[in-house]
Each structure stands twice: as C-alpha cells, then as structure tokens.
Structure 1
Amino acid sequence: MANSSLTDEVVRVVRSSGDKRDYQHLTLSNQLKVLLVHCPDSPKAAASIAVNAGHFDDPDHTQGLAHFLEHMLFLGSRAFPEPSAFGHFLNLHGGQHNAWTGTEFSNFHFDCNANALSRSLEFFASMLKEPLLSDNWIDKEIQSIESEFRLKQNDELRRLYQVHKVTANPEHPFSQFSVGNLNTLKNDKHGSLKSKLKAFFNEHYVAQRMRLVIAGPQSLDELTRLAQQYFSDIKQESGPKEPITAPLYLNEQKGVWIKVKPIKVAYRLILTLPLPSIDEDYPHKTTSFIAHLLGYEGPGSLFNALRSKGWVNSLSAGGGISGSNFKDFNINLQLTSSGRRNASHIVQWIFAYIRKIETEGVIDWRYEERRITTEMSFLYQEPTPVGELANQLSVNAFHYKQEDALYGDYRMDGLNHVYAKRLLQEMTAQNARITLVAPDVETDRVAPIYNTEYAIEAISQLQHQLFSSTPENFCCGLPKPNRFLNSRFAPLELEAGGSLPNLIEDSPQLQLWHLQDRDFRVPKGHIYLSLKLPAVTNSAFNFAIARLWSELMIDALNDDLYDAEVAGLHFNIYPTQSGITIHTTGLSAGQIPLMQHLIERALKTRFARRRWHDLKQSLLSNWHSAHQNQPLNKLFAELNQQLQFGLFRLRDLACELEPVSFRQFTVEIAKLFSPVHVTAFAHGDWKRENALQLGQLIKSNLPSSKSASIKRAPIKRIRDFVSQQLLVPSEHSDTALLLYYQGRDDTSMEQISFMLLQQLIHQPVFQELRTERQLGYVAGSQYFPVQRLPGILFFLQSHEYSADEIYQAMQEVIAQQLEVLHNLTLKEWHHAKSVLRQQIRTIDRNLRVRSQRLWGAIQLADTEFNRQQELLSALEHCQLVEWLERIKERLSDKTQLLRLQT
C-alpha cells in the first residue's frame, strides 16, 4: 500500500447475514477517515462525504450561509469551471448528484455507472477542494435560494419550526434562520458574500471534519487507490472545532404553553421534553425503548384510551430535533375537535402514563422483546442501493464506532436501568414545552420570516396540579408479551420451480399467482390481494366512502394487530382505480394467519359512530388542504386524474363525502362489494402449498358470488380532449406550469423512444430552466408512463414569471434541445443507449422491489413477464435517424400536448 495513506487496524464491521459486501476503514495521510465498500454485484458505484458543518455554524450576520455554500459547490471548480460539467458527466453515465444541509452536518453524494467512478470522483473531489465560487454564479444562485425559501413560505412545518426557533435560547445556534434568502445573504460591512463563502469553506471543509464513503464493485485495493489519488490532498484543520455549550432552552422557556395558529385547519398537540444529548447511549437505545412504550397502540395503551375518548386520531413518540448537546423528546398527537377542547386533560393523561412507565414499565423482558424485533430487522434487511448506502454510512461515521457503521442504528446491548430512570425523572411538566396548533388559539406575537402567529405563556399553577394528578378512570396498561413473535428465523427450503410467478388457480372469481423466490433467501414475503370492485370506481361518491372504509378498517384492526406490526408483520388497505387492495409484508411465518384475520374481519367489522365521525373529519381536512401550498403537486394530481379512469379530484371526493351520514355510509358501503374478482400474488419464501392455502382462504370468504370483469379501463387520449389547456385553481401565489406530451401507442419502440429522450435532455433542461435562466427552484423534465403508454413532462414552478412566460421559455428550451439532438454524434448516441441498456438490465435490488415489479406486471396483464427483454430488443433496433424523426414528430404534434397551469 502506498505511503500516502495509513490503514487503521483491522476493524470487523458488524453486518447482517445476507450482506455480501466487504468493508474497510482507512485513514489517509491528511487524517481524512474513509470507509470503503466493495459491492460485488452492483452495476453502480457511489460516494458520499459528510461534513461536520451545518447551519449551526452560520455567522450571525449571514444566516443561511452553509446552505448557500452547499448550492455553490456544484457550480464549478478550478479543475472543472463549467457549472454543469459534473451533472452533465453523471447524466451521461447513469448517475446523479445531490446534497443537503442540516444543523451540524452537510452531506454531498453522487452515484454513477461503475465504470465511471474514477472520473466522477475527480469531479467530486475537485469541488470539495477548490470550488470556483464565481461572482456570476453567486448572483444567479442567490435567486434559487430565494425561490426555495418562497416555495416553502407557507409550509406549515417550516412555520412551526420558526416558532420553535424564536422560543429557544437566542444564544444557541438552533435559533438562527437556516435556509437563507435575499435578506440574509448579501454583501455588508462584514464583507462580500464571496469572501464569506470562502471563509466558511476554508474553516470547515477540512479533512478532520469530513467522513468519506466510496462504494462500488471495484476491489478494496482499487477503492483504496482512488481514495488516495483524489482525497489525500484535502487540507487539514488548523485547530479543533469549538463545541456548543449554550443550552437549547433557558429556564423560562421550559414549563410553557406555546400556541400556534396554522394556515390550514389543523389540530395538533406536541409535548416536548428536553433532554441532554443521547449520542453516547446509542448502544442501548434507551430513549427509543421509552418511545416504544409511550407510542404503543395495542390494547390498553395510552393511544387506545385517548382514542376511545374521541380525543385523538394519532399518536407518535420519540421524534424531535437532536444535536451534540441536546435532544427533544416529542410526543406528537393529531387531535379531534373534541381533543382540542380537552388538550389539558390529554397532557394530564400523558404525564400519568410516563409515571406508570417509570414505576412499572422499565423491565428487562420488554426491552428484550424490542431488541429481538430490532435484531430481526437488521439480520433480514433488504440490500440497500449503493447510493443510499454511501449516504447513510458517511453520516453514521460521525455518530458510531467504526465497527457499528451498519449496526449502530439497530444495536441494543441491554437495558440501562439507571439512565432510563434518570431520563424519565426529567420528563416533567416543569421541563416541558407544550405546543398546541389550532386555528382558534389566541396569539399575541408573530414569528419573523414565516409570519407565524403564536403565543407563549407559563404553565399555570392549576395546570401543574392537574398534570401531576392521576386522571379519573385512568385505565392505561403497559404492553403485554407479544404473541406474534415467532421462532422461525430461517427461510423455508426451496422446492422445484422457476424464477417467474406461476398461475396456480384461474377461476371466474380468483386468479392466484405464486413465486418462491430463489435469489432473496430470507424468511420474508409479500402478499397482494386486489379486489376488482367496479362499484368503487364508478363515481366519486363511491370512491370517497371506500377510502373512508379503508381508513376505518385500519383503525379498527389497529388494537389487535399492533403487536403484529411490532413483530415485523405489516398490512395496508387502500382503494385503487380498480377497487380495493390489501397488502401484507414482513416476516413470512405469520402472514397467512394475518391475512386470514384481515379477510375475515373485512365485512364483519362494525364501526363506532364517534370514530367514524373523527376519521371522516380528518379525511375531509386532508383532502381540503392537499396541495394547498404546492401548486406543482396539484398539477401532477390533476394530470393523473385527467388521464385515468377511476381517479378523482380530492376536492370532488370531499364534496361527496361531506354530507354523508353514518347511517347512509353503513347502507352504501355494503353495495360496493358486489360483483367482485380477486387477483392474488404470494411472493417470498412460501411454498406452493402455502399459496394454495391462501387461495382456499380467499374463496371461503368472498364477499359476493357475482364475478366482476377483469378488463382494464383504457387510458384517456389527449387528442380526444375538448380542451388541451387546463387552468387548475390554486391559492398559492406561485405560478406552476406542466406540459405533457403523450406517446401515440404503448409499443416497446415508443416507450424506448421517450426513455431515450429523457435520458438525453433531462440534465440540460434542468440546467437551462433553473440554473441558467433562474425561472424557478423546481424545474425539469420526467419520463411519465401511464400504465405502459409513454409520455414526457416538462414542469416549472415560479414566484416571478407568468404561465405564458414560462410556456414560452419551455418551448424555447425544447426547441433548443431538439437542435442539440440533431447534432448528436453516433458516439454520443451509442453511449446514451448503453447507459439506458444498463438501467433496463438492472436486477431487482431486493425482495420488495421484485415484488412490486411482478405485481405491477400482473396488474397490467403482462403475464409473460418479459417487458425487460422487449425493451432491450427495441433499444437494440432503435436507429438514430429514425428516432430523431419520431421525437421531432411527437414534440411538434400539438394534438398530443396537454398544458396544465395554475
């Protein structure tokens, strides 16, 4: 090994049983710590670098500087001054790059085809060593920061977050504005923006404050060589980083009520319990264990009790911000209107339950159950794509020991009784911050930047007395032993069979498919049941009550199946454009009994009127407020509704459901389940006999003897629309525009043609619309197939330009790209085809992805399961001259163009 690096002593990285990758820790001569990952079967490679610098490091006079630097690093380096050079290279080699800025860390990452790793690392290292930070791009990119800020100016979470900041210690860096905008990022007496960027970069982007991960199919020796070649000359720090010593909250900022008025109608209660940093406790996960007890939703739980009173719709525990010297332990509840009126009593119940946990809950067997389920999650996790893996590991490197790079998120060494007791003793009303979000709260202050109305006041003496007392009829219990934990931790033995699903029953009411997976040998699986119910999708009214029925079923089943969720058995019920789907997933040992329970309960469950009312109101609230602050999302939803039968606008669903009474609902829901046809797919380690058992279970519980047709509804064609320009109402001040060009047919050649188009233009379209012209923060293009009919989207959201101006710019960019394509060389053409070929050939990376792909094929009646081969054949026969002519025709055919705008 070359002298320019120092290899750490050999560290055995703890990994799961099915992990075929090799890991090696390395420290370069400049003290940069590196983790190398040899991924033998991966067609792609990736790298990620985490930097111990985030918005907490912003100078007071230039808040948002860390975020702005993140943007600027991608816009050219000394070695590669062209701002689009890295993105263009990755686009040509099947990859992409991205970054994020957090409180104390920033992260930069990319992936690419494996053969492009060396060159990609050259780009990546250059931007991390010598970014250009040119004045021209500073002036342009500041507009993107402003657009990003305005895009989220009415976002409820950001508005609430800002109240959180202004009610925290102003001496703690959390109180600073993290995103930045034109008002905070500017030249001033402290220097030019460029000089500030350089100073921040020089101080923080140093080897000792970075953790690098490189992953790919290359050998560990080759990855070592690449790390040395490109990263050993990153500069070293001149001195250690100063720790944060200021407390997150002052004494007067604890023991308080914070009342926040939202834009949308919403009722939330957030009980925040400030704790010291929990980083050192990761081997024990004490706060995670306490959160498990508080967030438990089974029989006798706190959630169960509050829900039975009609006060809450959901409860989660344990979330909240955390950092090097603090941890917010949050209990987050979605309230009903009755819960809003009883907020103080809800808080009383929570503190009573915390005291119960303190005296009765911290027991080894409960911790051991949690440890077993967490260990199972680790042992049988599905392989992570290299891009996600590198990103995850670079951040983990700052928080875990080297051997725990993978295992740190799962490690539970034993219950730390002393630490658990100390944490629970700190969970008192005297320390708490109680945030009530409701439209009717009285406020007397406005948080700057996002203009959120709020109030903060001390918890009164009477409330303290209430919170320290036990409620009348306090009936909460702690979790009992989990009956769903099983002892089969190995997959069933393989029986004879192939690698494609087999149709093992095909009757008028049931089509049953089965595949025992031969590659992913884990004791897990997926069962899909699609109930073809024409009545569900023949009107918005029926679809709305089907959606409410699905929510009620999940809610009703929660009590007796929450332990199944904890034990690794998961289920979902949801309406689709053909009826209702039931999906179970997780450890295979208990899934068929779980599915039996779901099927048998499906038509027998009777819902409580109060829960029906609460969930109806929650659903209506979500539908009324959906996409309110994201005009572009509203256009995407409208496009789907315009193109496909059986989909409905959320506002139409809300209008239909609003007047429905409980009695009417119970009468109408029964009509939806006849006629019916069931398509089922069992994929995992199950044998054929298990699948046949599932089929018998389905047939014995069919809701109707009438069989429904399984013929799929056609896709709506743009050429048949009365108007090809649609105005979609939006309350947001931004303008959004979406152009959709629809393919003429669903042949493999047509699909490949649009795929190639997106492959060749998506990066330059983004570069031109967003970076060069600065038309808006969200901009780009996307391949958009509906079922198998291909199409392409061009989209942009802007706070400055009108729809006509955006449309004109898009047409110019499309025309410009067509000109570029006409000058495409045969070398570039064959390269684009090779990149797309590799993407199509990409093997399923885990059981979940394969299940989704095969289930999608079954749903589309693609029972040959040969779409990959058909696409590859079409790609092979696609010729440049013919393709150019075809694409030119598609993009100039206005009868195939749909324009949607807000």
Structure 2
Amino acid sequence: MASSSIDDEVVHIVRSPRDKRDYRAVRLENNLQALLVHCPGSHKAAAALAVNAGHFDDPEHTQGLAHFLEHMLFLGNSSFPSPSAFSDFLNAYGGQQNAWTGTEYSNFYFDCQASALERALEYFAAMFQQPLLAQEWIDKERQSIESEFRLKQQDELRRLYQVHKSTCNPKHPFSQFSVGNLNTLKDDKHGTLQDKLRRFFTQHYVSDNLRLVIAGPQSLERLAELAETHFSALPSSAQMTTAKKGLAPLYRPDQLGVKLEVKPVKPARRLIITLPLPAIDDDYAHKTTSFIAHILGYEGPQSLFSCLRNRGWINSLSAGGGISGSNFKDFNINIQLTERGEKHALSVAQWVFNYIRLIQDQGIEDWRYEERRLSTELSFKFQEPIPVGELVSQLAVNAHHYPERDIIYGDYRMDCLNNMRANELLNLMVPERARITLISAQANTNKLTLLYDTPYSMRPLQADEVAQLKAPADGFCAQLPRQNRFLNEHFQPYPLEAEQTRPSALIDNDQLTLWHLQDQEFRVPKGHIYLNLEAPQVTASALNFACSRIWAELMIDALNEDLYDAEVAGLHFNIYPTQTGITIHTTGLSAGQLPLLSYLMRQAQTVKFDRSRWQAVTQQLVNNWHSAHQNQPLNLLFSELNLLLQQGLYRLSDMAAACESLSYTHFSHIVANLFKPMRVTGFMHGDWQQQHAGQLAQLIQANTGSNGLNKAPIQQRIKRLQDIERAANPIAVPMQHNDKAALQYVQGASDSPREQVALMLLQQLIHQFVFDELRTRRQLGYMAGSQYFALQRLPGIIIFVQSPNVSEDDLQHQISEALELCFEHLNEMSLKAWAHSKSVLRQQLSVTDRSLRVRSQRLWGAIQLGDTQFDRADQLIRALDDWQLDDWLAYSQRLLFEQPVRLYIQTKADSG
C-alpha cells in the first residue's frame, strides 16, 4: 500500500466494550471516505457503498430515475458485461447482493465467503466505474420497475404515502413519484432514458458523494489495500460537479393546521397526528425528539396510552416515527382506534395535545433524560453482533450522518438534556401546525391520488376544532412517567460453574422437562427462557386456536402496563400460541427474568379481562384475519402450502368466521379448559447457574399444578405429498388481486441428514439461475425465485413467481421450463465446481453462533424437534461429504422429473 494514497490520521471510533471487531477510518486519494472493519474469526466478508443521491435528486421530468439506476447498476459494466456476472459469483461463494433507494441516499451492499472478498470487491467496484446501461436491459428492467409499481398499488402504506405526497409542497421533491413506472421512465424531449441514466450517474456517483465500508477477517492493513486497489479510481468531485440544490419547505402554510381523511383498502381505524419539525441531524448527540417521543409513547400506569385505552378509545399508541430528511422531520403520533374511539377521534387528539403541554410544563427534567440515556447506554453496552452484511449496510449510511468517531455510537449517543431545543420543539407541537389524519372505511373523501387512486380529503381545521384541541380535556388524568424501579447501572454475569457445552435436562418427568445451559462463550448478564405449555386443546379446532390467539393478546395487553418499565430497562416477554400449545419467552438482563416470569405465571392464573378490552382486541384480530393476504398473492400461496402440510394450523378466514358469534362467556369457558391437560418443556440459557434453573423448576411446578399429559412431548407430523388429495393437480386459491401467482413445491422423501443436505445443495445451485431466468430474462414479475423450505426437518424447495400480466397456468409452465433449463445447466457441472459448491455449503453448516440470541434459538429449535444430541450440523456435514456428483445428479433428476413429488398451487380470480 502506498502510504501517500491514504490519509493516515487516526480517529478513535467509539464502540461497545464487548465489540471484538477493530475499526479504522481512512480517506483515499480521490477523497473517498472508507471505514474498514476487522472481524476476527468471521467466515463471511462484506462491503457496502452508500451514495448521497436518492429520489429527491430525480429530475422532475423523469421521476423514479434514481431507483431505476439502482437496478441498472447490477446489469453489467465494461469489466463484467454479463448482467448476472456478480450475482453468479456471489452465489458460488455463499453470498448475496442487494440495494435500496431512499429519499436522499441509495445503498448497495453484498456479502460472501471471506476468502472471496478480493474478487468480490473487483466486481462491486466495477459497478460504479463504467456501467454499461445497455439498451437491451433498460427495456427489460423497465418492465421489472413497472411490476414493482403494480405490485404495491394496493399496499396500504404505499397508498397512504401517496396521500402524503399529494398534500405536501409540490416544490419539495418529496412530492415526486419515487418508484417510477413505464410512464415516467421513457425517452422524451429531455433525452433518451439511457442518456438520462448516464447524466445522473456522472453527476452523483462521485467519490465525495460516497461512503464505503469493507468488513471481513482480513487485517485492517489488508482491507486498506483492497480499498485503495479497487476504489481509488472512482471519479472525484474535482472532476465532476456534485452541486446540491437547496430544498423548499416540506409544507406550505395552508398545508398545516389541517384534517385529512383517507379511505383504506382493508378495514382500519387509525389516527395519525403529524407535527412538522426542523431537521434532527444536528441534534444527534442529544436526541431531543427521541426523548420527547419516549415520554409521549410511555405505556406504564396513568400514561396517555393507559388512560385512553381505559376509556375504550384506543388499542395502541406510538410516538416519534415519521419521515425525516436534511431539512425536515415529521414527528408522528400513530394511534390505532377502537370502534368507539373512531367516534371520539377529535377528543383523542385533544388528549394528545393536553399531554404535550404537560410534558412542556413538567416533563423536561434532567432525571428523566438520564433514565433514557442509561437505558440507551445499556443497549449499546450489551448489544449483540449482527451479520457482516447488515453491519456494512448500516454503517455506510451512518457515515453520511455522523462524524467518523460516532459512526457506530451515533445511534446511541445521548450527551445531556438540551433544554433549549426541547422547548423549541414543544412550542412547534401545537394544533395550528398539526396535520391530523383519520384513516377509516367511513372517511369523507372527495379526491383521488395519482398513481394509487387512494380516496382522501384535506381541509383546514375549523376554529371550534382548534379551540377544542387547545382546551383542557374532560376527565384528563394522564400523568408523566415515574422513576423506573428496574433501571440499574451495575450488571455483571454470574460466575461460571462446571464446563458445559450443550444443554442438559435437569428435570424430565411426565409433567416437566427442563433444559439448562450456562453459556461459556457469551459472557454477558443476559439470557433467554423458553417455556412451551404443551396443551392439545389449543389446536383442537379453529375456534380454540383463535381463542388462544385472543388470550395471548389479552395477556400481553393486561400485563403491558405493569411491565412497561421492565421493557424499558431491558426485560422483554412474549406470549404466543404454537402448533403444540402456548409459548412464553422472556429475554434480556438475567437478574430480573425469574421475578418477571413469576409475575407472568401468577397473572396468567388470576387475571380477569375487562369485557370492553376483550371486545376491542377480538374485533381487531378478526379484522386482521379477514383482510390478511388480501393484497399479497404469493404470501397467500405460502400460507396455503403451510396449511396443506402441517397439522394444528387453520386458515385465518376460518378463525375469523369461528369468532363471528363468539361471546365473552363462551370465550371464558374455552380458555378455562385450554390447559387441561398440559405438560411443560422449558429451556434456560445464558448467564444463569444450575441453582437458578432449580428456582425456575419450582416456579413452574408451583404455577402449573398437576395437569400432566403423562406422555412425551407432542411431536407434529408433516404430511407427505402422496397423502394429500388433489396434489397431482394445481390447487387454486381464490384471490382478489390483479396480479397472478404460482408456486411449485418439491418435497424430499425423508428427514434424514442425507436427504436434507441433498436439497440444500439443490437450492444452492438453482436459486440464482431460477431468479435470473424468471425475473431478469423472462421478466415475468418483480417477485420470483426459489427457497429451501424445511418443515420439522423434512426438506423441500419452493419455486415461485408473481406476475401482473401472465396467467397462472402459463406461470406454472414457465417455472417447469426454467427448472428443465436449470437441470441441463447442472448436468454440465464439472467436478471442480461440484467440490466448490460442497465446500461453500460445508462452511455455512460449520458457522458458529454469532450471538447468544442466535444460539438460544438454535438450541430451543433442536429441543422442540427432539434432537437432544444437538449435533445436527455435524450429521449434515458428514452426509454432505458422502454425496458424489453422479449420485446427486441422478437423485435430483428423479426428484424433479422422473418421480416428481410436487405440489402446484396458484391463485385464481375470486368472483366474490
């Protein structure tokens, strides 16, 4: 490495004390800023390049151009002209690539085997040097963009987003269409689409506009060499202009102090109060808006949420979300209303503004800020490492927002309370500046948005409405949060006991099996407790399973208020039904989990649900079940596949129908018998010693009584395709959507390691070819591909596609054709390529757990499957080593074509 080409000034990058990675920020000769990350022991490497250019930079005459360029950069360049060259390479080395285009930034990233990083960077850098932007692929990819646009036309968030765009300042680029379609991406008097792409690329893709991150097990010195070798040739701003125009205000004065009404596709009752604020990037070290959002969104006793929920007006409340950019921040209070609350929507908003004034009068105090700072510091201190692919993507964007020393810490940094900023913001959070949006099937609308045809209306708030919003609310009783009794700065892991590398069953009888593992590697004061209450009655019928879902939601709802402070302090819980019963999962700091679980189990036996809350929660779930997958054809087919193959699952529509006549009395009767009989399987993993596991066992036995099943844990049976009626013919699923969708599912003959690893190999070798063939070459639709799909370890593969303009039968034909072409390609595979493919899969199977959470999930999954040796990966590796190419090809030929065990599922138009 030539030392003159890199700025060697050392910047101390703040990181978590448990972060084992090393970081170095460098600046290349062309002024490109790069962050290098040494990840000891990582099997994977990754890189990301974030560009300070997004849809705000689109020319008005060609909206969606930044997004289209993002797609085109993957489709060939002067060094690697094939549109699939990079993806084929990454696929061969266990990697993947992706990108996104936002308002002001675009982000490109990939990961791969660590040994392939140098070659991968050669491909990656070439994307940003001389892209071909070939006319052939411009024509094809326009169809893909059109498919992406049409795919989202019934998406509720996208439709609401378009209302937002239609009611903001038309001089602000946010008002423009960000995705693009056939109508916006075309040749016109401003030039050919190819010329427009080249101009956009030349103007924005320059070194000053870029932030590079490279991560891998290579040394920092080697990563620096790779950065210089592959990216120092990128053009700098000295060679090209990168002038950014100033942005107009996001809203005109007449677009503030307004009420909007929006009619959704699915039944919904939501109130969104948007409070426009200045940009927040300059306040990142204080996070004043986050602090205010924390108080507004608090859900403990006597909170705004608690009081409004107790009045029967709302089901949920969150604060602080909303779009943000270089010259604006939308501060949203997002509220899910009950049927009764919809009739009192203005009163709900009045309570919100009353609470904001309470915060301004009493809430801006140092001790409150210190509590928030401490909980954020704990999150930073005990954060778990994320995969390198996610890491580089996140840090590349952070590098645009934070100085180098805070590229990691910037998301967590909270120095001190900025009183002046807090008061400035709260002074802006008034009804006269608010945008109050009611989303309801009963909305009064008089306009349709362009593109998505969303019905909406916007009018100024009337004087009497503003007066009500500013007046004291009747019965207003909300209080500010009290001090959090769960917060503590001092946490240390418990001392290690005897060496233990895998879980042991400390108790195993008719009523309880309890597994325990004190982790030797992840020495943090955290852990996970899983309890599966195995109860056959939970899945005895669609009604029982629906009641179990309602019960779990009501339990969380009833406990949330008392335990919200625990959540803030890093103690989390979840309750959810499964195919074998009800699972309780607690996680977070180990010191508080046994008391938390004790409280949960006591409450589960004694809590009495309020009838009005039961009605509100039940109605919300039923509405969700009725509308589920309504606008997601492929998701509907995946759901149908699961239902066909697994016992103990029910169609959401059947669950909704079963609840239509459900009374509170009937619900209470079903719930009273859900856990008769019952047995418990538990797993305690993390920081705890055996004595803590003994305390957990006593806790379980004291709270579950003697309802034992007197048999082994429930094991679910997966249906074989030959046992499913209609499996020989396509199964048609009614769907109210313009897109068509189809999938084929191929099932292995057994769940043996040999069979399982054979299908893993098959998926690894076909998925890039199938994607390229169905999506890129044939342009059938935006969503196409394949995935490995195992149920209870019975292996399978799904090949799928969703299309706006091709019939279901033709899609099935195209999938079959693609598989045949793919297999012709596989038949030409060399022994060298075969050995390489096996080595890639072997490395994936050999990867060690990257975090306590990942290890807990893996071990708990093994316990549920009865794998008490916890050595499945070793079995798979041995089976992989045994496969020879000719034998595997013959096996795959039989599986796919000669003795096909295949399920065809597709949509059909629902005349209803």
Task: Find the counterpart in structure 2 of residue 352 from structure 1.
Answer: 354
Question: SS at 2:48's partner residue?
Answer: strand
Deviates more, 1:535-544 or 1:235-244: 235-244
Structure 2 residues not aligned, in runs of 5+: 908-912
Question: How far apart are the structure 2 equivalents of 1:706 and 1:407?
Answer: 50
Alignment of 1:244-255 (within 5 A): 244-255=246-257
With over 3 angstroms needed to count, the CA separation of the structure-2 counterparts of 1:471 and 1:894, relative to structure 1, is farther
Structure 1 residue 24 corresponds to structure 2 residue 24:
yes
Q: Give how far 1:384 is off.
A: 1.4
Q: Give the count of matched residue pairs.
A: 902
1:526 maps to which of 525, 528, 548: 528
Secondary structure in 1 matching 2:507: strand
Separation (CA, whole Å) in 2 of partners of 1:305 and 1:811: 58
How far off its partner does 1:893 sit?
5.2
Q: 2:174 corresponds to which letter in structure 1?
A: F
Structure 1 CA distance for aligned equivalents of residues 889 and 188 of structure 2: 52
What are the Cα deviations for residues 695-741 of structure 1, in whole angstroms up to 9, with x where unaligned? 11000100553325423131111101110131111111111101001
> 1:728 aligns to what SS in structure 2?
strand
Question: What SS class does the counterpart of residue 45 from structure 1 fall into?
Answer: strand
Moved more, 630-639 or 480-489: 480-489
1:476 to 468, 478, 481: 478
- In the alignment, is residue 378 of structure 1 matched against residue 380 of structure 2? yes
1:131 paired residue number? 131
Please state whether the residue corresponding to 1:596 is helix, strand or coil: helix
**1:497 aligned to which of 479, 499, 509:** 499
Alignment deviations for residues 537-595 of structure 1 (CA, whole Å, 9 cap, x no partner) = 11111100000000000000011001111000000000000000000011111011001
**8 Å Cα contact 1:53/1:105 also seen in 2:** yes
3-state secondary structure, aligned to 1:122: helix
- Aligned AA for 1:851? S
The aligned residue for residue 722 of structure 1 is 725
8 Å contact 1:64–1:181 — kept in the other structure? yes
Deviates more, 1:161-170 or 1:708-717: 708-717
Q: Please give the per-residue CA displacement for 1:18-40, whole angstroms capped at 9, x wherever unaligned.
A: 11111111100100000000111
Deviation at 1:804, TM superposition (A): 1.0
Matched, 1:772 2:777: yes
Percent identical residues: 59
Runs of 4+, deviation exceeding 3 Å: none
SS in 1 for 2:494: coil
Residue by residue over 1:183-239, the C-alpha shift from the partner in whole angstroms, topping out at 9 and shown as x without a partner, is 100001110000000000000000000000000000111101100001001011234
Pick from 638, 641, 645: which aligns with 1:639?
Answer: 641
1:6 CA drift (Å): 2.5
Aligned to 1:43: 43
Paired position in structure 1 for 2:862: 857
d(CA) in 2 for partners of 1:783, 1:297: 40
Amino acid at match of 2:790: P
Aligned to 2:813: 808
Where in structure 2 are the equivalents of 1:83-232 lying within 5 Å?
83-232=83-232
Kept in 1: contact 2:203–2:241 (CA 8 A): no
Is the 1:275–1:426 Cα contact (8 Å) retained in structure 2?
A: yes
Do the aligned partners of 1:258 and 1:454 also contact (CA within 8 Å) in 2? Answer: yes
CA distance in 1, matches of 2:79, 2:827: 30
Partners of 1:211 and 1:879 lie apart in 2 by 45
Structure 1: stretches of 5+ with no match in the other structure = none
Q: TM-score, normalised by structure 1?
A: 0.99
CA deviation after TM superposition for structure 1 residue 15, in Å? 0.7
Q: Which moved more, 1:241-250 or 1:384-393?
A: 241-250
Aligned amino acid, residue 424 of structure 2 = R
Task: Look up the equivalent residue of 1:92 and give its one-letter code.
Answer: A
Residues 752 and 874, structure 1, Cα contact 8 Å, conserved in 2? yes
Aligned partners of 1:673 and 1:703 also within 8 Å = no
Q: Secondary structure at the match of 1:129?
A: coil
The answer to whether structure 1 residue 614 and structure 2 residue 616 are counterparts is yes
Equivalent in the alignment of 1:401: 403
From 801, 820, 824, the counterpart of 1:819: 824
Amino acid paired to 1:109: Y
**Aligned 8 A contact 2:722 2:901 in 1:** yes
With normalisation by structure 2, the TM-score equals 0.98
Report the alpha carbon displacement of residue 401 of structure 1 after superposing the two structures with TM: 1.2
1:662-677 matched pairs, under 5 angstroms: 662-677=664-679
AA matched with 1:719: Q
Cα distance in 1 for partners of 2:899, 2:611 equals 52
1:641 CA displacement = 1.1
Q: 1:318 aligns with which of 293, 308, 320?
A: 320
Q: How does 1:381-780 map to 2 (within 5 A)?
A: 381-702=383-704, 704-707=706-709, 709=711, 710-724=713-727, 725-780=730-785
Secondary structure of 1:592 counterpart: helix
Summarize deviations over 1:58-109 as a string: whole Å, max 9, x none: 0000000000000000000100000000000000001000000000000000
Q: Note the alpha carbon deviations across 1:270-298, whole angstroms, 9 max, x for none.
A: 00000000101000010000000000000
Correspondence 1:888 to 2:893? yes
Deviation at 1:7, TM superposition (A): 1.8
Give the superposition deviation at 1:8. Answer: 4.4
Comparing 511-520 with 717-726, greater Cα deviation is found at 717-726
Matched residue of 1:442: which SS? coil
Which letter maps to 2:719?
K
* CA-to-aligned-CA distance 1:622-679 (integer Å, 9 cap, x gap): 1111111110000111111111111111001111112100111111111111100100
Whether the aligned pair in 2 keeps the contact of 1:296 and 1:303 (CA below 8 Å) is yes
Is the CA contact (8 Å cut-off) linking 1:46 and 1:117 kept in structure 2?
Answer: yes
* Secondary structure of residue in 2 paired with 1:809: helix
Structure 2 residue aligned with 1:870, among 870, 875, 883? 875
Cα contact 1:310–1:338 (8 A) shared by 2 = yes
Aligned residue for 1:327, secondary structure, equals: strand
The Cα of 1:880 is off from its aligned counterpart by 0.7
1:805-862 deviations in Å (ceiling 9; x for gaps): 1111111111111111111100000000000000000111101000000000000000
Tell me which residue corresponds to 1:898.
903
Deviation at 1:489, TM superposition (A): 1.5
Q: In the TM superposition, what whole-angstrom CA distance separates every residue of 1:677-700 from its partner, at most 9, and x where no partner exists?
A: 100000010001001100110001
CA offsets, 1:390-433, max 9 Å, x none?
00100000111111111000000010011101100100001100
Superposed displacement of residue 488, structure 1: 3.9
Amino acid at match of 1:562: Y
Structure 1 contact 47–387 (Cα < 8 Å) conserved: yes
State the distance in 2 between where 1:436 and 1:487 align. Answer: 42
Give the 3-state SS of the residue equivalent to 2:350 in structure 1. Answer: helix
CA distance, structure 2, for counterparts of residue 200 and residue 547 of structure 1: 51
One-letter amino acid of the structure 2 residue matched with residue 716 of structure 1 = K
2:104 alignment partner AA: E
| Structure 2 residue 800 is matched with structure 1 residue 795 | yes
Using the alignment, how far apart are the partners of 1:714 and 1:819 within structure 2? Answer: 35
CA-to-aligned-CA distance 1:291-338 (integer Å, 9 cap, x gap): 000000000000001101111110000000000000000000011111
How far, CA to CA, are the matches of 1:622 and 1:245 in structure 2?
Answer: 39
Distance 2:279 2:308 in 1: 30
- Aligned-residue Cα RMSD (Å) equals 0.9
What code does the residue aligned with 1:88 have? Answer: D
Which of 824, 839, 842 in structure 2 is aligned with 1:837? Answer: 842
Which residue identity does 2:111 align to in structure 1? D
CA contact (8 A) 1:76 1:133 kept: yes
Query: Does the Cα contact within 8 Å between 1:90 and 1:112 map onto a contact in 2?
Result: yes
The answer to which of 258-267 and 701-710 deviates more is: 701-710
CA contact (8 A) 2:351 2:473 kept: yes
SS at match of 1:813: helix
Letter in 2 for 1:855: W
Aligned mates of 2:241, 2:198 — CA distance in 1: 18
